[in-house]
Structure 1
């Protein structure tokens, strides 16, 4: 490897983490309630796209894959996102309906990790959300066979224009598109601290209730 192809040094990327202590006595008994507190603080802090989350899936054979998607809602059931069912993540979840989510709120020295089972949302719920999307996004959902190989950008654009002419006002919801619900069985809240002595509190479902456990950093 010559000098021009050597990777840059990472030494300058070292940083110090420091935040408010994350203590068992101060958190909510339910992880969704605790997520609501932290998500509200991320919104108030003006973080760019605080609903961006890394979604990790695995195929039936155990081949992992991760990508960033947007959280589109959450409630006591869990966390919701929408996608093409025929995409790689859609195929993974059809074969292996489990996933992990990660909310990387770096400016606040926080992250939230979610693990859970995954199911499709009812069609009516997906259709209602689809109808709320901008027109261009709805046409885009039809035009893109997500994760499929396309010959060129021109082919993709031509497909978009063709569908826009077909549905100039109100495209229907595709049968290959809809929502997924990640129902958590485990959630971890991470708060950076000095000297790598980070706070990690894990909620683990034990029947109808949740156990809160501290993990070593």
Structure 2
């Protein structure tokens, strides 16, 4: 069994925590930006310079850890699925290369032209030592990442994985949702994985958002 220790979501409608029973509400629009008080944690000094994609992901991971009650540094992996990745920032960076032979291209924007940069920022800040990588998806909002995370846990590669969905490209397809998973005795919400399907209760999980909706 795989236990769900906590989770968070952020959308244009606000944000919520899994253990507080706050179910996701997603509508078109730019995801809300959380204040330092809402995150209630020490932030990296460069947090204010993060691009929108990195800031959204970092904040969602922070909330998920807070909801799970985890603040100790330990072996933990992060897997995120994304449809657009850092595309919005890639476009903005490309625009800065079009003048003066690229001499004035923005080094700060260049720092965030990889979809995995957000995972590196999380790993450094929280001192995680597990695998961190992104996977592509077709719009299932985290199912691809959840599948990989369950594989890592079932294979005993890791005992804890933070996994979720992250996109910050346009008004119609932006948001984040993350959960903290552990391979441990069944407590609270649990999921089963047979290598093909992810089951919670009597239903098959089709999106990471289902983990917030499904009651056990």
State the structure with more CA Rg: 1
Higher relative contact order (CA 8 A, sep 6+): 2
| Superposition TM-score tier, normalisation by shorter sequence | under 0.3
| TM-score, scaled relative to structure 1 | 0.27
Say which structure is richer in strand. Answer: 1
| TM-score, scaled relative to structure 2 | 0.27
